[in-house]
Amino acid sequence: MKRATVYFEEELHRALKMKSAEISTPVSDLVNDAVRSALFEDAEDLETFREREAEPTIDFEAFVTSLKENGKL
């Protein structure tokens, strides 16, 4: 484990301490879990981007123009 100094907004710190006491889990575990969860979501997003990078793209202006030409607008 590494030690770090983190500055929280007062209300967030109070909420963390309250949750920590309520579920008998150290604040550091709650913070580690939250960071791990955020990084996991980032990893999933990156994987999705890689899976979709070969998909064809169309720019917004061309898309709107095609909607108008097809009578959708």
pLDDT digits 0-9 by tens, 13-69: 999 999 999 999 999 999 999 999 999 999 999 999 999 999 999 999 999 999 999
The radius of gyration of the chain from alpha carbons, rounded to an integer in Å, stands at 22
Judging by beta carbons within 10 Å of its beta carbon (0-12, 13-18, 19+), is residue 6 exposed, middle or buried?
A: exposed
Confidence band for 12, pLDDT divided at 50, 70 and 90: very high
pLDDT value, residue 63: 95
